[in-house]
Amino acid sequence: MGPPHSSGELPTDGGIFAFGSAQFYGSEGGQRPDVPVVGVVPAPGGKGHWLDAGDGGVFGFGTTPFEGSTADTTLTVPVVGMTPN
């Protein structure tokens, strides 16, 4: 038997919708971020996630620690996504 099937969607307002066996750990939905959320990265161990916004804002949910953000810095180009370290 293979791994459980799950999926999610990421609207630009940062709302998270979990389907199948995907666990919900939180979202920015309804918070009206200053700029659209452009990416989601799972936490190591799969018990949370980070969201990143085009202005460099980073939002952590579940077991993800806050490790910084560039939201207060003027960027020359917008952030378009992120990858786990």
Per-residue pLDDT tens digits for 7-51: 555 677 777 777 777 788 888 877 777 888 888 888 888 888 888
Is residue 68 one of the residues assigned to a domain? no
What beta strand segments (E) does 1-82 contain?
A: 6-9, 17-20, 37-42, 48-53, 58-62
Is residue 73 one of the residues assigned to a domain? no
- Quote the tokens at residue 11: 């609207």
Is residue 36 one of the residues assigned to a domain? yes
**What is the band of 68 on the pLDDT scale with cuts at 50, 70, 90?**
confident
Is residue 81 one of the residues assigned to a domain? no
Q: Find the domain containing 16 and state its range.
A: 8-62
pLDDT of residue 28: 81
Is residue 56 one of the residues assigned to a domain? yes
Of 16-20, 52-56, 69-73, highest mean pLDDT: 52-56
Is residue 78 one of the residues assigned to a domain? no
Quote the CA–CA distance of 9 and 77 in Å, as a whole number.
Answer: 25
Whether pLDDT at 54 is above 60: yes
- The number of domains in the chain is 1
